[in-house]
Amino acid sequence: MATPHIDAEPGDFAPAVLMPGDPRRAQRIAEQLLDRPRLVTDVRGMLGFTGQVDGRPLSVMGSGMGQPSISIYATELFRVFGVERIIRVGTCGGIADGVEVGSTVVALGAHTDSAMNQQRIPGINFSAVASFGLARAAVEAAGPGDRVHVGTVVSRDHFYFTPAGQSEALAAYGVLGVEMETAALYAVAAEFHREALTVLTVSDHLFDHSSDMTAQERETTFQTSLRLAVAAALS
Ligand SMILES: O=P(O)(O)O[C@H]1O[C@H](CO)[C@@H](O)[C@H]1O
Ligand SMILES: O=c1cc[nH]c(=O)[nH]1
């Protein structure tokens, strides 16, 4: 049964879905990773594929940018398509000292400036946290040569506007990076009693732009993050 945003049937998606923001990255991951990838939805150009990894079913689908967009897709995947776990594989800007461009961030939790989660539990600041089992599986998949940081990120609504002093204050609290979806993804997973994790590749650093990735590198450089995300998805 199609939903407003996913033109597929129950059974078209695997229990685990890798979810990059960019639908072209979803296609690239599907072609690189999956045996016999099959396009299962393309509504609004938001491509979704299902195939197999080592004989086990796995799906890959774009989320779009921002918390409203990923909330729509995550809700429909959990509610209608029987999806059990979503692992976001995205990019982030480094914030804390020592979070190098090209390294990987496993997001245990996500701060946010968005109002979306404020509406969930009256009077409460919702804590957006990863599924422990998925986070553990991702971290355990890291090898000695991998540069992996584990901690909190911030999911901001604005890409281009930042209140004065906010990034410096986040750095002072050890926040690893900034992206735009994780706080909402973790809340939708909690709403449906399912699992979620975000694994990010650092594409730039807010306080040192000397090594920032190009747009093409942001689309293609994600091998360590992808390996950790697949380990979590199939754990
Ligand atoms: O690379 P993705 O997964 O899209 O993630 C980051 O990049 C986009 C902004 O350019 C936002 O979606 C942000 O969260
Ligand atoms: O600086 C950045 C990089 C990636 N994604 C973001 O939201 N911000």
CATH of the domain at 35: 3.40.50.1580
What pLDDT is attached to residue 221? 74
User: Residue 7 domain-assigned?
Assistant: no
For residue 181, is it within any domain?
A: yes
Q: How far is CA 57 from CA 7, 18, 41, 71, 221, in A?
A: 19, 11, 16, 23, 24
Parent domain of 102: 16-233
Is 107 within the bounds of a domain?
yes
**Which residue, judged by its Cα, is nearest atom 7 of ligand 1?**
91
Decide: 132 in ligand 2 pocket, CB within 6 A. Answer: no
pLDDT in tens, 146-191: 999 999 999 999 999 999 999 999 999 999 999 999 999 999 999 9
User: How confident is the model at residue 226, as a pLDDT?
Assistant: 96
Give domain status of residue 11, yes or no.
no
Known active-site residue 204:
yes
Is the Cβ atom of 91 under 6 angstroms away from ligand 2?
yes
Give the pLDDT of residue 1.
75
* Whole-number pLDDT of residue 83: 98
Q: Does residue 159 lie within any of the structural domains?
A: yes
Q: Does 22 contact ligand 2 (Cβ within 6 A)? A: no
Atom 6, ligand 1: residue with shortest CA distance = 91
- Structural domain contains residue 213: yes
**91 CA to centre of ligand 2 in angstroms:** 7
* Ligand (nearest to CA of 91): 1
- Considering every ligand atom shown, identify the ligand nearest to the alpha carbon of residue 65 and give its number: 1
What's the number of domains the chain is made of? 1
Give nearest CA residue, ligand 2 atom 4: 92
Ligand 2: which residue has its CA nearest to atom 3? 93
Does 2 reside within a domain? no
Catalytic hit among 54, 204, 208, 212: 204
12 sits in the region (left: phi over 0; alpha: psi -120 to 50; else beta) called: alpha
**Nearest ligand to residue 218 Cα:** 1
Whether 173 lines ligand 2, by a CB cut-off of 6 Å, is no
In a domain, 5, yes or no: no
pLDDT at 231: 98
The model carries a pTM of 0.97
User: Which residues of the chain are under the pLDDT cut of 50?
Assistant: none
**If you measure from the C-alpha of residue 96 to the centroid of ligand 1, how many angstroms do you get, rounded to a whole number?**
18
Ligand 1 neighbour 183 (Cβ under 6 A): no
The DSSP string of the chain is ---SS----TTSS-SEEEE-SSHHHHHHHHHHH-EEEEEEE-GGG--EEEEEETTEEEEEE---SSHHHHHHHHHHHHHTS---EEEEEEEEEE-STT--TT-EEEEEEEEE--STGGGTSTT----EE--HHHHHHHHHT--TT--EEEEEEEE-S-SS---TTHHHHHHHTT--EEESSHHHHHHHHHHTT-EEEEEEEEEEETT-GGGPPPHHHHHH--HHHHHHHHHHHT-
ipTM higher than threshold 0.95: yes
